[in-house]
Amino acid sequence: MKTLQEFYDEVKTSDELKKALAEAAKSGKITEFLKAHDCDATADELKEFVAGKVAQDKPMELDEEALENVAGGTAPMPSLGCSAGCGNSDKCGECC
């Protein structure tokens, strides 16, 4: 039996397997697809594994606004009625 890592590596290098896996996903038969390819895992286990790989492999990217806030040392404050953004809408005068 293949591990999820072995299966993942195999699919990554094969356009044919990628297409077949996509079709299995569309038809809701991922677990059957895995078993047919000698991998004893469930669809949920594969989804969790792939999500972890994507998070691991993909560096976090920030949009321009977020980059400006980081570079400038500012960050938008959530406002719940307080003009200073403290979040104490009931007692704003006490803290601001």
Residues 9 and 47 in one domain: yes
**pLDDT-above-70 percentage for the chain:** 59
| pLDDT recorded at residue 77 | 47
How many separate domains does the chain show?
A: 2
Q: Which residues lie across from 2 on neighbouring strands? A: 39
Residues 49 and 11 in one domain: yes
User: 8 lies in which domain range?
Assistant: 4-57
State whether the Cα torsion 54-12-35-21 is positive or negative: positive
| 56 contact partners, CB below 8 Å, separation of at least 6 | none
- Which segments of the chain does DSSP mark as H helices, in order? 4-12, 15-26, 30-36, 43-57, 64-72, 92-95
Residues 80 and 53 in one domain: no
Residues 28 and 72 in one domain: no
pLDDT of residue 24 exceeding 70: yes
Residues 53 and 75 in one domain: no
For 47-82, how does the pLDDT look when each residue is reduced to its tens digit (9 = 90+)? 898 888 877 766 656 667 666 655 554 445 444 445
Residues 46 and 19 in one domain: yes
Residues 21 and 43 in one domain: yes
Residues 76 and 46 in one domain: no
> CA separation (Å) from 95 to 12, 54, 82, 86?
55, 43, 10, 8
Residues 42 and 73 in one domain: no
